[in-house]
Amino acid sequence: MPDYQPPLRDLRFVMDEMLDYPAHYARLPGGEEASPDVVAAILEEGARFTREVLLPLNQSGDREGCLLEGGEVKAPKGFREAYQQYVEGGWPSLAADPEHGGQGLPHSLAMVLSEMICATNLAWGMYPGLSHGAADALRHHGTEEQRATYLTKLVEGVWTGTMCLTEPHCGTDLGLIKTRAVPNDDGSHAVTGTKIFISAGEHDLAENIVHLVLAKLPDAPEGSKGISLFVVPKYLPTETGEPGERNGVVCGSLEHKMGIHGNATCVMNFDAARGFLVGPPNKGLACMFTMMNAARLGVGIQGLGLAEASFQNALAYARDRLQMRALDGPQAPEKPADPIIVHPDVRRMLLTQKAFAEGGRMLVLYTAQMLDIVEHGQDAAERERAETLLGLLTPIVKAFLTEVGFEATNEGVQVFGGHGFIQEWGMEQLVRDARITRLYEGTTGIQALDLLGRKVLMNQGESLKVFTREIHKFCQAEEGSSELAEFVKPLAVLNAEWGELTMGVGMKAMQDREEVGAASVDYLMYAGYVTLAYLFARAAKQAREALAAGSDDADFYRAKLDTVRFYFQRLLPRTRAHAAMIQAGAGSLMALSSEDFGRGFEI
């Protein structure tokens, strides 16, 4: 069975040293509750829960899968008991508003726990995963009665939430949905339609499931402007707030998937189910985005967690597995062969995993700070800046971290060689589980269009400038440092080029809008590599300062510097290819007609 040790030392480095979370928390209203002692206790107990409770269920849950009988779904053995421990431990309420039973701690702390959950049992983590987003959507857009009915139950984890968006025929184009909501005499609506790919749509872990469903009213305008949002519970709450009458919503089937077998991915059928309008009519997509943006950050964390899990197990295997001798002579002469970690190509794979895990962690925790400020900051200008950065970074977190997370899990299989292809080692499960992260909550292509089209070009690059100015100021402040020159100089060049590439795409798009779509994915990947380079440069600065101060943990800081150096020398050069493809334009992509795609295999 794969093992996992929560990376508490690296987490503390990023949180306490690099990003100064103690000072960050001290500036937030109520942040004094997140004292260093409290944070340490949460990290340590979260590490224990995920490693001792969730990790042992990961492979067994994958093998067993979910069972659908008579519209009821049973999760794999042990999942329900683990969920009960999760609720009893107060984990669902960690960052929720105390008004609704939450603990009121910063969102960033909950995101740290999410990484550990994703690394140990992604399929299990998806059961409570959308409940936070459902609660946020109801908190921001629900009526007072809806908040009173659902929020405390969702916050406590007694009920779980889902997000019911797409349908068999429409994929990402939600303007095509056919689900209808017809008004009832009592103010509710009869919701009828079929939704697919619903994570945790039906299960036996919680006593009720709260579905947030996109549907169209009878007089709705065509397209996405006619979408409304409804809350549709599995069991209609009684006057005392307990689950009552069964609603007209049932799981029609379970999807047979490549991965995440332990999670129930459902086809949900709504047959005149009683639903209650959330927010204004025909504004459902805007209301749902409150939930979708939280989910996108959560999926990015999934990529991070799986990368870390794969790296740790690949590293342990590479230290133990004997094969051949090092090219410059035996490194373990007392053994019949050397451990494969001595071989350069194995080190390349391991360092790639390590760099993406550590860089991804910095990106998530940097973005988490922005989320904390948006939710709790008192200074209006600081909140506005944080909101701009959060909007810019969310598609990068979601898409870049899932792309490189999938790469990292593939490298993990490669380190194991043939054993990586065998189920008992658990490495192939990480690949299968990681593959979905590039798809759901908006594919990489959708995130790329959001980044380049909406977040950058739509406001003439002003949101991007907020971030690139920050990078520029860092480079200016450190340009005299000979110790950081190997990182700061290339970062400054790429930061300037980022703006130039953006302007180039924008100019081309004025003549041909296809240029945005043609450049978008390479643009997002370029942005991801440069963003990680900035964070790695900051990490190098912190490590240098710790070593200069005579830290008694010098090995950790030297390893951090070596990882930063590997990233700059072996991964950051990928920006050259992405820049070339961005500049290549749409011509070669759009030249071939749809009919000509098939030339060469006609009968």
Residue 321 has pLDDT above 90, yes or no: yes
CATH number at residue 118: 1.10.540.10
Helical residues (DSSP H) of 321-335, grouped into ranges = none
124 and 164 both lie in a single domain: no
Statement to judge: residues 506 and 577 lie in one domain: yes
Q: What is the model's pLDDT at position 32?
A: 85
Cα(107)–Cα(373) distance, rounded to whole angstroms? 10
> Does the residue 355 lie in any domain?
no
Q: Is the pLDDT of residue 370 over 80?
A: yes
The residue written with tokens 């899968």 in the block is 65
> Encoding tokens for residue 131?
């409940």
Please check the confidence at residue 298 and state whether its pLDDT lies above 90.
yes
Residue 286 near residue 460, CB atoms below 8 Å: no
513 and 561 in a common domain: yes
Residue 194 lies in a domain: yes
Closest CA to 416 of 332, 266, 311: 311
Is residue 126 domain-shared with residue 170, that is, in the same domain? Answer: no
Rg, Å, the chain Cα set: 25
Based on the fold, state whether residues 506 and 555 are members of the same structural domain: yes
pLDDT digits (tens, 9 = 90+) for 92-113: 999 999 999 999 999 999 999 9
Check residues 534 and 1 and name the one with the higher pLDDT.
534
Q: Is residue 337 part of a domain?
A: no
Do 448 and 559 share a domain, yes or no? yes
Assign 375 a pLDDT band (cuts: 50, 70, 90).
very high
Quick one: pLDDT at residue 294?
85
Are residues 496 and 542 both part of a single domain?
yes
SS (H, E, C) 7-27: CHHHHHHHHHHHCCHHHHHHH
pLDDT in the model for residue 518: 98
Instruction: Select from 133, 149, 169 the last residue of a domain.
Output: 133
CA angle 303, 399, 226 (to 5 degrees): 120
CATH number of the domain residue 251 falls in: 2.40.110.20
Q: Check whether residue 453 and residue 514 sit in a common domain.
A: yes
Q: What are the residues whose beta carbons fall under 8 Å from the beta carbon of 386, sequence distance 6 or more?
A: 369, 370, 371, 373, 374, 377
The answer to whether residue 398 is domain-embedded is: no
Four-point Cα dihedral 433, 438, 441, 442, nearest 10:
-160
- The domain tally of the chain equals 3
pLDDT of residue 399: 98
pLDDT, the chain, mean: 96
Dihedral pair phi/psi, residue 75, rounded to 5°: -75, 165
The identity of residue 383, as a single letter, is R
- Looking at the fold, whether 127 and 165 belong to one and the same domain comes out as no
Catalytic sites, residue numbers: 441
Give domain status of residue 122, yes or no.
yes
Could you give the angle at the alpha carbon of 452 between the alpha carbons of 447 and 457, nearest 5°? Answer: 145
Per-residue pLDDT reduced to its tens digit, 261-295: 999 999 999 999 999 999 999 999 999 888 888 88
Q: What is the reported pLDDT for 13?
A: 98
**pLDDT of amino acid 86:** 98
| pLDDT class of 579 with cuts at 50, 70, 90 | very high
Q: What pLDDT sits at residue 603?
A: 58
Give residue 278's identity as a one-letter amino acid code. Answer: V
- Is there a single domain that holds both residue 448 and residue 574? yes
Tell me the average pLDDT across 36-54.
Answer: 97
pLDDT digits (tens, 9 = 90+) for 123-146: 999 999 999 999 999 999 999 999
pLDDT digits (tens, 9 = 90+) for 225-234: 999 999 999 9
The reply to whether 165 and 106 lie within a common domain is no
Considering the domain boundaries, does residue 332 fall inside one? Answer: no
Q: What SS3 state is found at 201?
A: coil
Listed residues 290, 307, 332: the one ending a domain: 290
* Parent domain of 476: 443-587
Domain boundary among 260, 290, 320: 290
Tens digit of pLDDT for each residue in 199-224? 999 999 999 999 999 999 999 999 99
Within-domain flag for 295: no
In a domain, 95, yes or no: yes
How would you classify residue 91: left for phi > 0, otherwise alpha for psi between -120 and 50, otherwise beta? alpha
35 and 116 both lie in a single domain: yes
State residue 292's pLDDT score: 84
Q: List the one residue out of 197, 55, 72, 71 whose CA is nearest residue 124.
A: 55
Q: Residue 172 — pLDDT band, cuts 50, 70, 90? A: confident
